Amino acid sequence: MAGYLDRIGAGKVLLDRGPLSFDWTPPLLVGRERELESLASMFMGIGNENVSGRAVVVGHVGTGKTVLTRRFGEDVVREMDGIRKIVLSHVNCRNHPSTSQVLQQIALSLDSRHPERGFSSGEIIQSIRRNIRSRGLHMILVLDEVDVLVRRDSSDLIYKLLRIDEGQGNHGSVSLILVSQDPSLMGMLEPAIISRLGESNVLRLEPYDSDGLVGISKQRYEASCKPGSVGEEVLEKIGRFASETGDARLAIELLEAAVRRAEMDGRGEVNVGDVMPSTLRTASVEPSQVDSLGTHQKLILLGICRRLRKVEEISSGDARKLYELVCEEFSIKTRSYTTFWKHLKSLETEGLLEARSTNTSVGRGRTTYITMSNTSPATIGSRIEKEFMNR
Ligand SMILES: Nc1ncnc2c1ncn2[C@@H]1O[C@H](COP(=O)(O)OP(=O)(O)O)[C@@H](O)[C@H]1O
Ligand SMILES: [Mg+2]
């Protein structure tokens, strides 16, 4: 096999790529117990033939709206086993933005051979209703990113779906869950729709905090990687970076990229340095972040910044020497090597530095190389310099 492909099969860290995909639905959601309970309360009595539920779920990108509704749907199906036959239909209106496309997707979830053309919306709705009733089913329908449909084609279809049983006797054919990242969704809907949905049936998902994101990346790691290959520090760094947006997708992306870097390096362990903020969509370090650092952290960082204006990366040994020079310059006593290391680590966890370790063939042990891909060394350096000049 060609040499450059060797790494593909190595899998020193990765056992199963599946759980690193956004489409993977975890068996349990991390930290959304209350939200699931709240959703369940909107489906009270769903085991009864004439009952259907309604819910509206809103929240920013990556707050877990899609996975929450998927997890909930699958859990309800399992819970209702032997009590009520439930079929799930999850339509992403961004991918199927017109009324007829949405209806087509719903019809397909009931019958994979549903013909593509030749029917009006009214006819498809009728055939959906007939199919559900004749088979004694109940459908939980999720219209994901529903604002796209409403903007394009009005909320007519939602109204019709909410009235699917009207004048047909007491029967709950369809439960409806509307999902949107647009907080003003309710404002886009007609009063008649809002009253049918129930104003209190709105569930708002808050962005995740760093603990939540650590939990989510930990779950993904445990489901996809070798035990022990990703440490707490790595997960914490991911959590800290992703917490700026609270987007779970970002946490998973950072984990995946870090695993890939470790694999590329042929290592069996992911390092803190593999979590690279440069893959972030927004710069994650503000220069003002250095203001709250301790004196020696600043001095260490200053030495590193001065050198990184000229070179791409420096070794930890050089960083130590530069730190000693800076201390001399400002007549401050240097700290021990251990303390120096501790500060270096904390600067890395702060996201101000990235460190990369290599096995060296000369001498023994490992050398650590330090870079700053996340922010400009010149900006950070002169900010610290100014402070110490004025002391
Ligand atoms: N509470 C959670 N527990 C586990 N994984 C989660 C959780 N919330 C989100 N995720 C994962 O994060 C990613 C983004 O979530 P998603 O449901 O697509 O967000 P949204 O639909 O709000 O944009 C998905 O891969 C999802 O599985
Ligand atoms: Mg989604």
On whether both 266 and 317 belong to a single domain, the answer is: no
Q: What is the pLDDT along the chain (391 residues), one digit of tens a residue?
A: 456 655 565 688 999 989 999 899 999 999 999 999 999 999 999 999 889 999 999 999 999 999 999 999 999 999 999 999 999 999 999 889 999 999 999 999 999 888 877 789 999 999 999 999 999 999 999 999 999 999 999 999 999 999 998 877 767 999 999 999 988 899 999 999 999 999 899 999 999 999 999 999 999 999 999 999 999 999 999 999 999 889 999 999 999 999 999 998 889 999 998 998 754 444 456 778 888 899 999 999 999 999 988 888 899 999 999 999 999 999 999 999 999 999 998 898 887 888 877 665 555 566 788 988 767 788 889 899 999 988 7
Q: Whole-prediction pTM value?
A: 0.74
On whether both 80 and 158 belong to a single domain, the answer is: yes
Instruction: Tell me the residue range of the domain where 255 lies.
Output: 208-279
Answer yes or no: is 145 within a domain.
yes
Q: Cα of 114 to ligand 2 centre, how many Å? A: 26
Answer yes or no: is 2 within a domain.
no
Q: Which CATH number goes with the domain that contains 269? A: 1.10.8.60
Among 333, 324, 289, 285, smallest CA distance to 303 is for: 324
Which atom of ligand 1 is found nearest the CA of 21? 25
Answer yes or no: is 359 within a domain.
yes
The pLDDT score that the predictor gives to residue 11 is 83
d(CA 361, CA 377): 30
Answer yes or no: is 271 within a domain.
yes
The pLDDT score that the predictor gives to residue 6 is 58
On whether both 301 and 365 belong to a single domain, the answer is: yes
Residue 7, phi then psi, degrees to nearest 5: -65, -25
Helices 337-349, 316-329: crossing angle, 10 deg rounding:
110
On whether both 59 and 181 belong to a single domain, the answer is: yes
Q: Cα of 65 to ligand 2 centre, how many Å? A: 5
Q: Which CATH number goes with the domain that contains 367? A: 1.10.10.10
On whether both 254 and 346 belong to a single domain, the answer is: no
On whether both 191 and 241 belong to a single domain, the answer is: no
Ligand 1 in reach of 66 Cβ (< 6 A): yes
Which atom of ligand 1 is found nearest the CA of 25? 27
On whether both 261 and 304 belong to a single domain, the answer is: no
Q: Domain boundary residue among 200, 235, 253?
A: 200
On whether both 258 and 312 belong to a single domain, the answer is: no
d(CA 289, CA 349): 13
Ligand 1 in reach of 250 Cβ (< 6 A): no
Cα 185 → chain centroid: 22
Ligand 1 in reach of 308 Cβ (< 6 A): no
Ligand 1 in reach of 63 Cβ (< 6 A): yes
The pLDDT score that the predictor gives to residue 9 is 57
Answer yes or no: is 18 within a domain.
no
Q: Which CATH number goes with the domain that contains 149? A: 3.40.50.300
Which atom of ligand 1 is found nearest the CA of 68? 17
On whether both 161 and 48 belong to a single domain, the answer is: yes
- In the chain, the number of structural domains is 3
Answer yes or no: is 360 within a domain.
yes
Out of 25, 181, 249, 253, mutate this one to test ligand 1's pocket (max ligand atoms within 8 Å of CB): namely 249
Report the nearest-CA residue for atom 13 of ligand 1.
249
On whether both 235 and 310 belong to a single domain, the answer is: no
Answer yes or no: is 325 within a domain.
yes
Full strand arrangement of the beta sheet holding 354-359? 314-315, 366-371, 354-359
On whether both 154 and 54 belong to a single domain, the answer is: yes
Residue 300 token pair: 């260490």
On whether both 155 and 254 belong to a single domain, the answer is: no
Q: Domain boundary residue among 279, 309, 336?
A: 279
Q: Domain boundary residue among 146, 168, 200?
A: 200
Q: Cα of 248 to ligand 1 centre, how many Å? A: 6
d(CA 375, CA 381): 11
Q: Cα of 64 to ligand 1 centre, how many Å? A: 4
Out of 66, 93, 204, 213, mutate this one to test ligand 1's pocket (max ligand atoms within 8 Å of CB): namely 66
Ligand 1 in reach of 22 Cβ (< 6 A): yes
Answer yes or no: is 26 within a domain.
no
The pLDDT score that the predictor gives to residue 341 is 94
Which ligand is located closest to the Cα atom of residue 69?
1
Ligand 1 in reach of 220 Cβ (< 6 A): no
